[in-house]
Chain A
Amino acid sequence: MYIKKLFPLLSIIVPEKYLKLSSIPYLIAIFAFYSYSNKFLTYSADYVTDMSRDITIGGVQQNIAFYSLESLILFVGGFLLISYLLVQNEFNNLFSEPRKFNNGVSPIFTDLLQNMYVWIFIFGVYNLIPFLKSWEFFLDSSVLSIFSELLKGSALGLFCGLFIGFLLRGYYSSLFAMVMFLFSYRLFPLLSDFSPFFSLSSSQISFFIIGGAVLTSFLLIQNNIKDLSINKISKVNTGEFASVFSILIFIILLFNISMVPILSQNLIPFLSLILLLNVCYWSWDLSQERSKQSVQEQRSAALVFMVSLPILLYFLLRLLYLLNHPDTVMRNRWELAYDFMSQGNTFKVNTWPFEVTPGADSRWLFYKAAIINSARVTLLSIFLCTILGIIVGVTRLSSNKLASTLATAYVEIFRNLPLAVLLFLIATQMGHQFPLFSEEKAISIFNKDIIYYSNQGIWFVTVAEHFRLFVGIIFLAFIKIILRQMARVEPRKVDDSKSSLIQRPFSHLGWRVEALLSDILVLISIFAFVILSYPFFTTASGGLECIIGLNFLLYSLLVFTNVDDSGVNEMVVDDSSEGLRKSFTIWTLSIAVAIGIAISAGFSSPELLKPSSSPGSWRFVAEKGFEITPAFSAMIIGLTLFTASVVAEIVRGSIQALPRGQVEASISLGLNPFQRLRLVILPQALRSMIPLLNNQFMNVWKNSSLAIIVAYNDIFYQFLVMANNVGKLIPLFLLLLVTYQFGSLMISAVMNWFNARVTSVKI
């Protein structure tokens, strides 16, 4: 009513029912959309103009941001094609059952022709042929170039496969899009080369690209290309007429845009107006819900595409512009090339398992050392926090009021502290608490230092040859295998479902020999893995041997679990007091022997050299004693305390979710508390715990990136050092993301395998 009084003219044009207060949001939306599309399309047009300007002076391209017409059309056209195919949603069928033809052509041929994977494979391998010229060439070329060639071949194969598939199944609108893309990518630049009559000015190019995008979205939302191809000319309706008419107008305007100065000077407002009219009409049409469900879905996806077209075009063109930016620093940031990684780092960083020298070793080596550091702190934290979390979680549920209150206080305090503050606090407190390096605080026996602690690190005595320690552990494992073998009895029922030669290679030798051999195989594979992968973790090379050892270890574990699952492992457990005494003596003796083997080469205790009286010159002799840096200990303590509180909550939750009857039954059977926990409660609580623990372990891996707070050399610290050094941010950033994702996937894979084993029994 008020609007009618204020704007009497308006009431003549617009019908009465639209002039109310609730129309104001619509007006604001219309105005906002018009200005938004205007703004972003203007930016896009400016970038197109900048990138298509060809300033070749003396054979050298002066415009750094120059893209040839072909590559511009490839990128923008490719993006439009992909969006078109996604919105049209007809390609999903191509990956499933192929369409049967009954016109006499051999069915194998038509099936093969419609199999997408065959196309991708053939074209991908075809692109790899140049690399296989010789073995040296293959080893020399970088992984990245091989990978990108494979990717390009597969993309081309996918394109051809989709084309043939659309053709054979009659999905003409997607086919139309592909044909148009081919036409503009291949034929259109040729036209401009052929005759001066067809040469394109910059306004024509921007009209082609941006107007082409608007035309694509228009045709997409009309959705009547398919009908056009089927219907006869005489039965054409308004929508189809609009589509054909718009294509014709586009082509005519493309070559004659300079003849219509109103358009060529106000190109972007014109295109924004077209977008606005379409968006208004189609959103009204969709709200009427006149068509069937699939058409509604396709049209709403097309509408979202049309609304977001300006900003998507802007991002795409901005990205292209950044890759070839005139400003060197920005171009450096965005260029995706990894050749700087084979050069030396000019910063020295502290890495432990092996020394990397700045300037000499490639950056890949620094990165590998950083990954080993991160993995080390993550694995140790996961192990410690699980133990501590289970202890605290179980204590929380105990009937001892004092202990359970203490556990509750621990969980409540550490769960709500931020990890960054906790790490910084621990690092500062440790630095404050520990004695200074110059105070020479040591625990010593017979004038030899056993432990030397200061706020610059802890050094303690270790065995002189670590290999003998490893041999001692192998000896203990061997004793365990012998004890297992002595306690084996004939299995009652053997499940032979997995008895192929690969899965259970020893199944023909009888149950006794098979079980023994599978145990020994695991032992040998652990031994082989440690030996084979030792060079990988301590020197620059050795990746191949590490992979071989890892595969062998995984295979032996697979055989072991297959043997276990098939029921061959039946052992007698001797719980009588005599049996317990016997096993106790056996274990004490074997542990003594193992310790004897381990220390047979002597000890290596830390030795402090003091060249002069000033503490700054004091050094520890390298290779003697074992050092733990304060950064490492602060990380371990902080991560463990923080994550253990969350694990304690998870453990408590899953124990409390157990049915009461289980615990009561175990009490009535006479099990003492430890046996209850070990045999009844924890195995069942594991079923609900494992997915939540999986999440927490991935969090530990990602939280290890906070090592920068305590100056521990991990992946993120290395990323910052290299980014400061070289400035190539995007390649390093992508590498960082891939590394963290890979670590998360590894952790997830192990936990999922564990989950599958635990939940294989149905409760």
Chain B
Amino acid sequence: MIQDKLLDFEHSVVGKPGLSLYKDPKFNINSSYFSIVIAIIVSGVSFFDNLSAEGTSIKALIFIILVSLATFLAFYLTIVSVVKLTFRKSPSTAILGVLSSWIIYQVIKGFGHFALIEAEWEVVWANRVLVIVGQLMTESLTQSYLPNQSWRLWSILYLTFIIISAAYGTTGDKPYKFLIPFTIFTSILTYIAWNPTAVNYDTDEPVMKLIGATVLSYISFGLSHYYCSINEEYIANKLRSYLALSSVFLFFFAIFIMNPPESVQNLCADIFGISASENIQLTRCGGVEASQWGGIFVNLIVATAGCVLGFAVGVVLAFGRQSKLPFFKYPAVALIETVRSGPLICWLYFAVFLLPDIIDPFMDIEDIIRMLLIFGLFGGCYIAEVLRGGLQAVDSGQKEAALALGLSPIQTKLQVELPNAVRTTLPSIVSVFIGLWKDTTLLFIINILDFFKLAKDLPNTSPGYLGDFLEPLYVTALVFWIFAFYLSRISMRIEKGLGLTNEGGGEAA
């Protein structure tokens, strides 16, 4: 019954009535109705006030409706707690409830006012390609004197979508659990690509390509789902390991395709009949140098390097630290403790100023590749610490059984100890990955044009956007938040799948 539900809601949010008057159920429910009516009156007054102040555009209407709802909730809860004197019976609940409702009201009013009324989001729409791919690629997309290099990114995107959908297909969930969120996600992407506000490129091409990518991912999801459903578990596991290998391969492929080495560029020029006198960089065959990468692509590449290279380095360092031989142990301990003692920003400066002195004689690498190496080293030391706990927790019976079976030390480490350790510590490893993703924002300090730096400096690019310095920052926060939130959901899901969560007791209030 609605009345019971209403009373239950009030009890849980603001506490039970404090006066014995309210033992009578009719009086109880009538006073609730009374407070609802008063709250409606107050919020109605504020609704019409805001309407006259802000106007009737769609954004203003959304804002006004949200604020009125928040006002209604806040006033209703306050009036109920005052009328029913819930402070006497359970003061903590009452205070919590009333305080939270007012906090919600303030946040919605403040942020809603900013986001829907004050802000001019045009600066973000006008630069959406810039912050995704960086300076050079935007120029090549929009200007005619540079060849269009976007096919490199599209190929990477296609492969990423295919691998991710295939991975979801192997989980064995019901199809709609993946298809519906994925469709929502790609339609949001398509909308962002299609939005005609301040667009500086031809919208048809990206929209078509995104729709093509969605169709391909549906196909790959369907195929892998079908394959895993008709085959045995061990065949599905083989598919999963192939997918994991292919994602590592995708990382190296991404670097390769963005900037192919000289020999490959020359080969391509020979195939496409470009004469040797032309500058290869101005044709389709020229690569995009690492120093010209920008936007969220840089963040993604550096974070992936931290994860992939970091995992490899971390495994080596963890086993080195755990070994009895001092030749492996002392250098591993020294390296891990040194790298972990300084903050990441300190190591980034090391990579920019001091690392070239050591490496330049034998390898001429650019800033971003050095960043990849440093992120790999830094992530590796953190993963080594995490794996150290996991390796210590491996049952010694496993190692003894492997020894009895005649496995060599390297085989024991890689095939017996490491899978056990990774299974136990996988949530911590994923949280290291999330930390690495968030730390890629520090690249702006050394003047690498990643997403954060480009978004931060957007107001300075054009006179029309001079005052809009808050909007790009909020969009940056949102984009980084989305990726990190998605990774943490995956981590929770992995934990549940491996059976590692402990549903303990202990409710406290």
Interface residues of A (CB under 8 A from B): 39-40, 43, 83, 86-87, 89, 92, 287, 289, 296-298, 300-301, 304-305, 314-315, 318-319, 322, 330, 333-334, 394-395, 397-403, 406, 412-413, 415-422, 424-425, 428-429, 432, 655-663, 673-674, 676-677, 681, 702-703, 705-706, 708-709, 716, 719-720, 723, 729-730, 733, 736-737, 740-741, 744
Contacts and interface: CB of A to CB of B under 8 A. Distances in A.
Contact of B480 (A40, A43, A334, A418): A418
B410 to A, nearest CB: 9
Given A429-B470, A737-B338, A676 B508 contact: yes
A415 B12 CA distance: 27
Contact of A304 (B327, B408, B456): B327
Given A333-B357, A730-B354, A418 B441 contact: yes
A425 B327 contact: no
B477 A421 contact: yes
B327 A659 contact: no
8 contacts: A301-B328, A402-B100, A412-B485, A421-B452, A421-B480, A428-B469, A432-B469, A705-B343
B12 A740 contact: no
B442 interface: yes
B326 A92 contact: yes
Contacts of B349: 720, 733
A744 B341 contact: yes
A659 B488 CA distance: 27
B326 A660 contact: no
Interface stretch (B90-98, B205-213, B283-291): B90-98
B100 A403 contact: yes
B41 interface: no
B13 A402 contact: yes
B256 interface: no
Q: Which of A400, A429, A662, A706 has the most CB of B within 10 A?
A: A400
A389 to B, nearest CB: 15
A373 to B, nearest CB: 15
Interface stretch (B142-150, B304-312, B364-372, B499-507): B499-507
A639 to B, nearest CB: 13
Contacts of A298: 325
B16 to A, nearest CB: 12
Interface in B9-30: 9, 12-13
Contacts of A416: 434, 438, 480-481, 484-485, 488
A657 B505 CA distance: 7
A330 B355 CA distance: 12
Contacts of B485: 412, 416
B181 interface: no
A324 to B, nearest CB: 13
B492 to A, nearest CB: 11
A746 B104 CA distance: 40
Contact of B444 (A83, A420, A723): A420
B257 interface: no
A340 B408 CA distance: 54
A10 B477 CA distance: 63
B350 interface: yes
Closest 9 pairs (CB-CB, A-B): A660-B505, A416-B484, A741-B341, A418-B438, A658-B506, A398-B509, A702-B343, A403-B96, A705-B343
Given A301-B325, A315-B358, A420 B506 contact: no
A660 B505 CA distance: 4
Contacts of A659: 504-506
Interface of B: 9, 12-13, 77, 92-93, 96-97, 99-101, 103-104, 324-328, 330, 337-338, 341-343, 345-346, 349-350, 353-354, 357-358, 361-362, 408-409, 434, 438-442, 444-445, 452, 456, 469-470, 473-474, 476-477, 480-481, 484-485, 488, 502, 504-509
Contacts of B330: 86
Given A304-B327, A736-B346, A424 B507 contact: no
Contact of A333 (B324, B326, B354, B469): B354
Contact of A656 (B338, B473, B480, B504): B504
Contact of B327 (A86, A708, A709, A737): A86
Contact of A740 (B97, B324, B325, B346): B346
A400 B13 contact: yes
Nearest to B92: A673
Contact of B342 (A424, A677, A740): A740
A729 B354 contact: yes
B477 A403 contact: no
A733 B350 contact: yes
Given A400-B97, A402-B13, A681 B508 contact: yes
A89 B505 CA distance: 51
B444 A400 contact: no
A388 to B, nearest CB: 14
Contact of A417 (B343, B481, B504, B506): B481
Contacts of B342: 702, 736-737, 740-741
Contacts of B92: 673-674
A333 to B, nearest CB: 7
Contacts of A663: 505-508
B85 to A, nearest CB: 18
Contact of A318 (B341, B358, B438, B481): B358
Nearest to B410: A300
B377 to A, nearest CB: 14
Contacts of A737: 338, 341-342, 346
Contacts of A418: 438-441, 452, 477, 480, 484
